[in-house]
Amino acid sequence: MAPSNRLVNVSNRVALPKAAGAPGGLAVGVLAAMRASGGMWFGWSGEISPDDAGVSPPEITSREGITFATLRIPATLHERSYSGFANGTLWPLFHYFLDGFRYDDEEYEAYQAVNALFARELVPLLREGDLIWVHDYHLIPLGERLREHGVRAPLGFFLHIPFPHYEVLRALPKCADLMRALLAYDVVGFQTNTDRQSFLGAVQALWGRDCISSSGVIELWDRRVQTGVFPIGVDVSAISANAARAVSSARVQRMKEGLLGRRLLMGVDRLDYSKGLLERFEAYRRFLEECPEHHNRVTYLQIAPLGRQNVSAYARIRDALEQSSGRTNGQFADVDWTPIRYLNRNFPHATLMGFLRLAQVCLVTPVRDGMNLVAKEFVAAQDPADPGVLILSDRTGAACELTEALLVNPYDTRGIARALKQALEMPLAERRARHEKLLAALARNDIHSWHERFLEALRRPHARVPDGCGLNLTAA
Ligand code: ADQ
């Protein structure tokens, strides 16, 4: 049979186009990439099955030239693996939240079991010539399991979130097992050079320096693993066109009318403690305290859809945000002015881009983020003739490329308050000059080049992978 070179993407969650549910950056990025290449997307359907029902084979549907193969996962296994090990252990640890991190053997075993299940159900669907691209921290052991089934196809792994320094990683009892699992892939990709260096540092700490070449290839046991930096981007022209079109839609117009001529500050984040929302709310309160001249002239719209509600840390941050926004509104609101509008809901992506186009300032202040697509979407959505200003945390992957944003330390609430004032008072010429450079950075490295560069590395795993588009990808 002739090789098909079909792309098989595997991620924890598969996002069918236009399906309801909390969106995430991974789904947005993979869907945009798959629209260009076609192929198969394999993963969890988002539905759980009763524990005693057994696992049924994946459900197959086709849309927009993409085959979606989705699995249901038994309830307890899912709870322990997804809410437990993936989001109670790996997510906080990889985002440097050592005090929010926990480890439990049963949860780790469930995580391994889900990966074994993915491998077992995926293998019968594979064809000769497939390129297999596995995404993110939920599926680190999948490559090893596929190899055990005899899969010899090129296997790539991309980590969407930060990779922590070894001194943080080693808090995890199973850290050497996970590191060994990553060496089952042919290509392991990261968002920034800092992440890649942390990974290589962990390899060195565990197995010595001699197995790492100067170009970041690891040769260990019978494996040869290429590492690379592949910063994820956005579909710049599609976002720009969608945002311009969405501005005249009824929903975006309704939001605009509600502003009563006030200037719009915006934040869009999944509700997550890594996104720096509490510090951001505090910074806005400081800004209102220190800049009375802006009272009743700005509205801060924060959109933060809920997800991962079974993880207790998420319930805590949700309560804290409700209290904080209530306090600010209580302190500053007037009969015709609500300083913060805080919404826990999803919007169609195009509507969101329309909101972003109308914003004079976008606040993206995570305390740690692999990349952050919202920062890039905001830049792409702006009107180049009258663009808004991006305030961006220096602890995001995006800060390595978007150096013309107002870069802030996300814990420095006074610094963020100052940046807000600077953004609102920035002259048009400076806004345009900054926006032009930001847009050029997006164009150098959009969603298509992310996906093409990764696939190129996967097709030729022995070629040298560059450090990432000639950009400075060392985190600020
Ligand atoms: P996330 O942590 O989910 O992604 P982000 O990169 O900002 O974060 O992506 C969120 C996506 O969801 C954006 O495309 C945004 O527009 C969309 N979105 C958010 N809220 C929405 C809402 N209410 N309605 C509709 N759409 C909404 C993870 C990593 C990031 C990395 C991405 C991609 O944590 O660091 O950038 O993967 O690799």
CATH number for the domain that contains residue 357: 3.40.50.2000
Active-site option among 95, 160, 435, 451: 160
Instruction: Output the pLDDT for position 466.
Output: 56
* Pocket of ligand 1 contains residue 195 by CB under 6 Å: no
Contact 421, 393 (CB under 8 A): no
- 11 belongs to a structural domain: yes
Q: How many residues does the chain have?
A: 476
Distance from C-alpha of 333 to C-alpha of 285, rounded to nearest angstrom: 12
The residue segments making up the domain with residue 160 are: 7-233+447-459
* Pocket of ligand 1 contains residue 28 by CB under 6 Å: yes
**Residues 16 and 102 grouped into a single domain:** yes
Instruction: Output the pLDDT for position 316.
Output: 87
Instruction: Output the pLDDT for position 17.
Output: 72
**Residues 208 and 352 grouped into a single domain:** no
- 160 belongs to a structural domain: yes
**Residues 296 and 356 grouped into a single domain:** yes
Active-site option among 130, 186, 269, 369: 369
Contact 86, 110 (CB under 8 A): no
* Pocket of ligand 1 contains residue 371 by CB under 6 Å: yes
**Residues 307 and 214 grouped into a single domain:** no
**Residue 149 bears catalytic tag:** no
Instruction: Output the pLDDT for position 216.
Output: 93
Instruction: Output the pLDDT for position 241.
Output: 96
Secondary structure class of 353 (helix, strand, coil):
helix
**Residue 448 bears catalytic tag:** no
- 73 belongs to a structural domain: yes
Q: Nearest residue CA, atom 23 of ligand 1?
A: 346
**Residues 37 and 114 grouped into a single domain:** yes
Instruction: Output the pLDDT for position 27.
Output: 83
Distance from C-alpha of 50 to C-alpha of 69, rounded to nearest angstrom: 20
**Residues 251 and 329 grouped into a single domain:** yes
- 472 belongs to a structural domain: no
**Residues 201 and 350 grouped into a single domain:** no
Contact 386, 410 (CB under 8 A): no
- In degrees, to the nearest 5, what angle opens at C-alpha 310 toward C-alphas 308 and 313? 80
- 247 belongs to a structural domain: yes
Q: What is the pLDDT of residues 17-58, one digit of tens each?
A: 766 555 577 887 788 778 888 899 999 999 999 888 788 899
**Residues 44 and 125 grouped into a single domain:** yes
- 282 belongs to a structural domain: yes
- 1 belongs to a structural domain: no
**Residues 310 and 243 grouped into a single domain:** yes
* 10-residue averages of pLDDT along the chain (476 residues): 75 79 71 84 92 88 93 95 96 95 97 98 96 97 98 97 98 97 98 98 97 95 95 95 97 96 97 96 98 97 84 84 97 96 93 97 98 98 98 98 98 98 98 98 94 92 57 37
The total number of structural domains in the chain stands at 2
Any idea what DSSP says for residue 466? P
Distance from C-alpha of 440 to C-alpha of 157, rounded to nearest angstrom: 28
Longest dimension (CA), the chain: 72
Atom of ligand 1 nearest to the CA of 353: 16
Which of 93, 373, 392, 393 most suits a substitution to test ligand 1, by most atoms within 8 Å of the C-beta? 373
CA dihedral sign, ordered 470, 390, 137, 444: negative
Instruction: Output the pLDDT for position 29.
Output: 78
Instruction: Output the pLDDT for position 261.
Output: 96
Element (H, E) at 60: strand 59-63
Q: Which two tokens stand for residue 222?
A: 């019978």
**Residues 64 and 135 grouped into a single domain:** yes
The rounded Å distance from CA 377 to ligand 1 centre is 10
- 296 belongs to a structural domain: yes
**Residues 243 and 226 grouped into a single domain:** no
**Residues 105 and 164 grouped into a single domain:** yes
Cα separation of the two ends of the chain: 49
